[in-house]
């Protein structure tokens, strides 16, 4: 294990930010720390990095106990904070060089690493720019470059795609995959489930400072009873239709959202044919009908009773 | 030394503050030097225009009028307070005296014997008051056997003291330049406070930004080494800023440094710079607000200059103002500049006080920095 967090408790007076939070990260993987805003993701990362003290628990990074003066461990860690943290009065290149200089003393090696980081985030055309002249997406890239320039073995990325346009988001996600391919282990916090599904080898779902479940995308989905969702819209209103749909075999829940009926099934076999049979029997006309496999949001919903973005 | 290097780079982004203050300061110094060169030693005796109404018309009151008439122009005025004040405001008169009917009796009883109107902002008023006081004190002293001894009074008033000028320090023969250097270095206190707080404060706001600080804290750079480079940057910046003003004095009047107590100014400004650097350290640990730093820079630099004798000489300041001024190093800095010294032992108290202030500021700064350092 490259990171091992055991029973971490962090309190802010009455508020429990981390409630016996545990997590393990394997070398070479991208671990997603998924949870709604305010669930304790950033607090967990700050505790792991010794930026915050904690009340109880243990943190091991790279096989050693993590402390504020564990400089040999810190040398191998990179962090990309949630908010852009760069010097406004230094240019793109100077910023990257500054943060590289905090890790690397050798000048020629530093120069080489800085060039590589600039190439990696594709900021070559902006090296002389001050951050205030950069767009939000370019600032995010600079923020990433400052965190990875020293080629860390373990990288923490705290919601790096928040408030970023779609193009920059794809660029960032591709970059993260590339970093992982080059050998870095990545801990990626997000509240975007699509990103976690697409990017992460394993996912830890958090809520209220607790780690609810962890596993691969498939493992998590297999943990819940819902195996299929069918979304259907009818052209006419029909009283009591929800109750009648509930009588179709294997249906476990029917909800209505903006005129669409969302039907959850606990068994993935013949569900659409059963539903179509029901529609014909009741002389209903549908305008939309499609089937969906459960998402991480469904996993979260079933575990907590609320959606990830509630 | 990456942190040090980039600390200086960020500091240079604020070069316009340093350049702005320095340019203004040096321009004023040049103008001051030009004026000082032409007028400083040309003292011209000027008669005051004094309005007098003598309601007593006694030998003593006529004596006062006569005494004042010896060196001043006496003007006829009417006994109307509004009119008198207007004449003084319009500078037609330097002052006015109304001698009451019971003048002699009041002099005998040491009561306020005359009504004196003057403009306190003008040095002539001060001189007029001195002349009147002198006459009244001497008159009272000559009163004996129900009569004033007018001959003794006149003789006492005409007595002159013989002043022998003793040269106290070898080689210091240019008092005009000493005054220029004194004024120049007094004003540097204002500039040093303003620039130190503003520039170092602005750089530190950036380096103490919570997000950047967190980023630095998770790096493999040791906390001690990181802070050492930041403090080294502050000291270098302080030395650089102070050097600009020392260099300014050398460029403008460098050929006279052998004729003034230049080493006194150097030691004084070095110790003062240390104290203000420590004060800046304290401020930086108290606030991270740009607005507050700018406010403190302006208020402290101007405020302490006013009450410590930079803008107005210490001898013209009230006791209360001076008592308050003693709680800041500028007072001791100015006191040293104002004084001619035989050896550095003469100013050891003032130097020590500045050092003490520096150490106290430093300790207070460390106290307020504790939570951050501990984190």
Query: What pLDDT is recorded for position B233?
Result: 93
Query: What pLDDT is recorded for position B240?
Result: 92
Q: Which chain B residues are Cβ-neighbours of A71 within 8 angstroms?
A: 220-222
B99: three-class secondary structure by DSSP: strand
Q: Sign of the CA dihedral A262, A268, A271, A272?
A: positive
Strands (E), chain A: 3-12, 15-25, 30-34, 56-61, 64-65, 77-80, 154-158, 185-190, 202-207, 210-215, 228-234, 251-257, 260-265, 286-292
Query: What pLDDT is recorded for position B39?
Result: 47
In order along its 310 residues, chain A shows pLDDT tens digits of: 889 999 999 998 888 889 999 999 999 999 999 888 888 888 999 999 988 888 999 999 998 998 888 888 999 999 999 889 999 999 999 999 999 999 998 999 999 999 999 988 888 999 999 999 998 888 989 999 999 999 899 999 988 888 778 888 888 888 889 889 988 999 999 888 888 888 898 999 888 888 888 888 888 888 788 788 899 998 877 778 888 888 888 888 898 888 899 998 887 678 888 889 988 888 888 999 998 888 877 887 777 776 655 4
Query: What pLDDT is recorded for position B260?
Result: 82
| Nearest-by-CA chain A residue for B12 | A89
Q: At what angle do helices B329-338 and B290-308 cross, to 10 degrees?
A: 40
Choose among A69, A72, A74: nearest Cβ to B219. A74
The answer to whether the CB atoms of B3 and A71 lie below 8 A apart is: no
**Domain extents in chain A:** 3-221, 228-293
pLDDT in tens, B301-360: 888 888 888 887 777 777 888 888 888 999 999 989 888 887 888 888 999 999 999 999
Domain with CATH 3.40.1710.10 in chain B: 49-163
The answer to whether the CB atoms of A51 and B219 lie below 8 A apart is: no
The interface pTM score, or ipTM, of the predicted complex is 0.79
User: Which residues does chain B have with pLDDT short of 70?
Assistant: 33-44, 161, 163-174, 371-375
Question: Order of strands, edge to edge, in the sheet holding A3-12?
Answer: A15-25, A3-12, A56-61, A64-65
For residue A250 the two structure tokens come to 């294997």
CATH of domain A3-221: 3.40.50.300
pLDDT in tens, A261-282: 999 888 767 888 888 998 888 8
CA atoms of B355 and B272, how far apart (whole Å): 8
Choose among A88, A90, A102: nearest Cβ to B219. A102
The answer to whether the CB atoms of A69 and B218 lie below 8 A apart is: no
| CB proximity list for B2: less than 8 A, separation 6 or greater | A97, A98, A101, A102, B229
CATH of domain B49-163: 3.40.1710.10
pLDDT in tens, A38-48: 888 889 999 99
> Kind of pairing, strands A56-61 and A3-12?
antiparallel
How many Cβ atoms sit within 10 Å of the Cβ of residue A175? 19
The answer to whether the CB atoms of B2 and A85 lie below 8 A apart is: no
Choose among A49, A88, A102: nearest Cβ to B206. A88
Class of domain A228-293: alpha beta
Beta bridge partners of residue A217, listed in sequence order: none
Confirm or reject contact between B212 and chain A (CB < 8 A): yes
For residue B364 the two structure tokens come to 């207070």
Query: What pLDDT is recorded for position B258?
Result: 82
Query: What pLDDT is recorded for position A135?
Result: 86
Beta bridge partners of residue A61, listed in sequence order: A3, A64
For residue B107 the two structure tokens come to 């002099």
CA atoms of A137 and A261, how far apart (whole Å): 38
Q: How far is CA A98 from the centre of its chain?
A: 28
């Amino acid at each position: 294990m490259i990171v091992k967090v055991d029973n971490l408790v962090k309190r802010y007076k009455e508020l429990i930010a981390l409630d016996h939070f545990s997590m393990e990260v394997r070398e070479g993987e991208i671990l997603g720390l998924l949870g709604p805003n305010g669930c304790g993701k950033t607090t967990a990362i700050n505790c792991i990095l010794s930026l915050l003290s904690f009340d109880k628990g243990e943190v091991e990074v790279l096989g050693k106990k993590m402390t504020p003066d564990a400089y040999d461990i810190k040398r191998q860690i990179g962090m990309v904070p949630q908010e852009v943290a760069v010097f406004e009065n230094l240019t793109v290149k100077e910023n990257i060089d500054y943060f590289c200089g905090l890790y690397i003393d050798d000048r020629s090696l530093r120069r080489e690493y800085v060039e590589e980081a600039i190439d990696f985030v594709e900021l070559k055309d902006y090296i002389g720019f001050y951050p205030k002249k950069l767009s939000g997406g370019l600032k995010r890239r600079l923020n990433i470059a400052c965190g990875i320039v020293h080629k860390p073995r373990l990288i923490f990325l705290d919601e790096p795609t928040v408030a970023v346009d779609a193009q920059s988001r794809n660029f960032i996600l591709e970059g993260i995959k590339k970093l992982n391919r080059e050998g870095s282990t990545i801990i990626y916090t997000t509240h975007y489930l699509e990103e976690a599904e697409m990017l992460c080898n394993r996912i830890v779902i958090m809520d209220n400072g607790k780690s609810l479940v962890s596993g691969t995308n498939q493992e998590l989905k297999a943990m819940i009873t819902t195996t299929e969702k069918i979304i259907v819209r009818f052209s006419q209103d029909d009283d009591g239709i929800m109750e009648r749909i509930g009588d179709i075999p294997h249906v476990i829940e029917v909800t209505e959202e903006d005129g669409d009926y969302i039907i959850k099934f606990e068994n993935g076999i013949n569900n659409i044919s059963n539903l179509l049979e029901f529609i014909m029997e009741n002389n209903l006309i549908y305008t939309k009908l499609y089937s969906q496999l459960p998402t991480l949001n469904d996993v979260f919903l079933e575990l907590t009773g609320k959606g990830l973005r509630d | 030394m990456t942190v040090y290097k980039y600390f200086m780079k960020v500091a240079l982004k604020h070069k316009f503050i340093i350049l702005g203050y320095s340019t203004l300061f040096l321009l004023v110094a040049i103008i001051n030097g030009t004026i000082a060169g032409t007028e400083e030693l040309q003292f011209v005796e000027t008669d005051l225009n004094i309005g007098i109404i003598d309601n007593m018309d006694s030998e003593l009151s006529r004596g006062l009028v006569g005494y004042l008439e010896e060196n001043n122009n006496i003007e006829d005025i009417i006994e109307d307070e509004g009119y008198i004040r207007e004449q003084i405001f319009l500078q037609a008169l330097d002052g006015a005296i109304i001698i009451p009917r019971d003048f002699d009796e009041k002099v005998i009883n040491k009561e306020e014997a005359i009504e004196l109107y003057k403009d306190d902002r003008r040095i002539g008023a001060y001189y007029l008051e001195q002349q009147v006081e002198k006459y009244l004190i001497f008159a009272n002293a000559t009163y004996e056997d129900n009569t004033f001894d007018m001959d003794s009074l006149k003789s006492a008033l005409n007595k002159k003291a013989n002043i022998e000028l003793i040269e106290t320090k070898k080689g210091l023969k240019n008092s005009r330049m000493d005054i220029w250097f004194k004024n120049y270095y007094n004003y540097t206190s204002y500039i040093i406070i303003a620039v130190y707080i503003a520039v170092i404060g602005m750089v530190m706001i950036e380096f103490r930004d919570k997000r950047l600080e967190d980023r630095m804290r998770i790096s493999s750079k040791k906390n001690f080494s990181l802070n050492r480079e930041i403090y080294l940057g502050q000291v270098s910046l302080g030395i650089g800023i102070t050097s600009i003003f020392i260099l300014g004095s050398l460029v403008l009047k460098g050929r006279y440094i052998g004729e003034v107590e230049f080493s006194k100014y150097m030691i004084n400004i070095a110790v003062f710079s240390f104290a203000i650097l420590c004060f800046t350290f304290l401020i930086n640990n108290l606030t991270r607000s740009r607005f507050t730093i700018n406010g403190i820079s302006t208020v402290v630099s101007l405020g302490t200059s006013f009450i410590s004798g930079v803008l107005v000489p210490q001898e013209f300041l009230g006791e209360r103002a001076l008592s308050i001024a003693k709680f800041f190093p500028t007072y001791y800095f100015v006191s040293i500049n104002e004084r001619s010294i035989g050896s550095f032992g003469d100013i050891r108290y003032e130097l020590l006080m500045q050092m003490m202030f520096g150490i106290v500021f430093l300790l207070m700064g460390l106290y307020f920095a504790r939570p951050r350092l501990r984190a």
